[in-house]
Structure 1
Amino acid sequence: MEIRLARSDELVRIGEITETAYAAFTLGPADPYVAKLRDAASRATEAQLWVADDTGAVLGNVTWCPNGSIWREISRPDEGEFRMLAVAPEAQGRGVGEALARHCIALSRAAGHRGMVLSSLEDMTAAHRLYGRLGFSRRAERDWSPAPGVQLIAFELPYA
């Protein structure tokens, strides 16, 4: 498996993977967040869109939000942040999500950040288990709401 930047010919597939991975957590097709999940092109130009590739097949993706990116939500300038970690259903359980998250941690460290933060829906318990394995801990004081009725919980990974 190779972790690399997304190519323009993959953006539709990446949007589909992301929408599918988040389907259980949205309000359905009318949910305005679904359009953001599908909009891989914006994420590729306004942040960095990384994919896990297995011999030409995109298995998953993650949006890395470098300093200055409009996709950053809760990070401070000395913190890394990633969003929309998504793995195709047929690739789940193969370490794809962990590889993508570890890649973002490496990007954050290389940028000189003191740690990494991210937001998640409370119901995304499989993601929370992954974050725990990687050393993230809950930071309730950084929880927030991007829209009425949507509550996000925060996680932090400080670097030693």
Structure 2
Amino acid sequence: MDIVIRPVVAGEYGELGEITARAYLLDGLLDFGESDAYLDVLRDVAGRAAAAEVLVAVEGGALLGGVTFVPDGGPMADIARPGEAEIRMLAVARAGRGRGAGEALVRACVDRARATEGCVRVVLSTQRTMRSAHRIYERLGFTRTPARDWNPLPELDDITLLTYELTL
């Protein structure tokens, strides 16, 4: 079967929220485990869908993962500047990994960025330990931008996020 990338529908918000939260938890990406406040943000697909475009990867009716595409700044942008789109919260369920869902989601975001008038670049933040995601980004032509690395929680100095960009 083929993986289909399409916008999330309201009936999938809960499932995608859990896929996203589980991906971050099981990969050890949240410092405080189940008590991490960021889990609420990861689970809030309805909030993301109201402020940006949330895409899902589906195969044979099964939801494999999702991503948030921020075409032109707004409340969901972390690092995007004028003329940049941003990719946020890429997550693939364990059962869907290694099948191309993550790469298909990133490609869909790049395609949407290319179709966005005035967009010249796609940017994203990632954690150091997200090596599988780094390989996807690099394979698709993204390059590291160390000068833009940042810390979302300045009180914890070991949470620096790495940044990547793709010039369109």
Q: Same fold (TM over 0.5)?
A: yes
Q: CA deviation at 1:41?
A: 1.1
2:138 maps to what in 1? 132
Q: Unaligned regions of 5+ residues in structure 2, if any? A: none
Q: How many pairs align? A: 159
Distance of 1:18 and 1:121 partners within structure 2: 15
Local SS of the residue matching 2:79: coil
Alpha-carbon distance in 2 for matches of 1:132, 1:38: 27
Q: Of residues 2, 14, 17 in structure 2, which corresponds to 1:15?
A: 17
Identity between Structure 1 and Structure 2 (%): 45
Matched, 1:56 2:65: no
Unmatched tracts of structure 1, length 5 or more:
none
Distance 1:119 1:125 in 2: 13
Secondary structure in 2 matching 1:100: helix
Query: Could you say which residue in structure 2 is the equivalent of 1:73?
Result: 78
Deviations 1:78-103 (A, max 9, x none): 11111000001001000000000000
Structure 1 residue 143 corresponds to structure 2 residue 152? no
Q: Which whole-Å CA distance do the structure 2 matches of 1:89 and 1:122 have between them?
A: 19
Which residue identity lines up with residue 144 of structure 2 in the other structure?
R
By how many angstroms is 1:68 displaced?
Answer: 4.0
Q: Distance in 2 between matches of 1:54 and 1:69?
A: 31
Deviations 1:64-84 (A, max 9, x none): 012143111111121111100
Task: After the TM superposition, list the runs of 4 or more consecutive aligned residues in structure 1 that deviate by more than 6 angstroms.
Answer: none
Moved more, 17-26 or 62-71: 62-71
For residue 142 of structure 1, report the CA deviation from its aligned partner.
0.3
- One-letter amino acid of the structure 2 residue matched with residue 144 of structure 1: W
Q: Tell me how far apart the structure 2 counterparts of residues 131 and 68 of structure 1 sit (CA, whole Å).
A: 20
1:25 aligns with 2:29: yes
Pick the structure with more strand per residue. 1
Note the aligned Cα RMSD (angstroms): 1.0
Distance 1:58 1:137 in 2: 29
Equivalent residue, structure 1, for 2:162: 153
Which residue of 2 is the match for residue 100 of structure 1? Answer: 105
Which amino acid in the other structure matches residue 99 of structure 1? Answer: A
Counterpart Cα distance in 1 of 2:22 and 2:34: 11
CA distance in 2, matches of 1:155, 1:138: 4
| Alpha-carbon contact 2:48-2:54 (below 8 Å) kept | yes
- TM-score after normalising by structure 2: 0.91
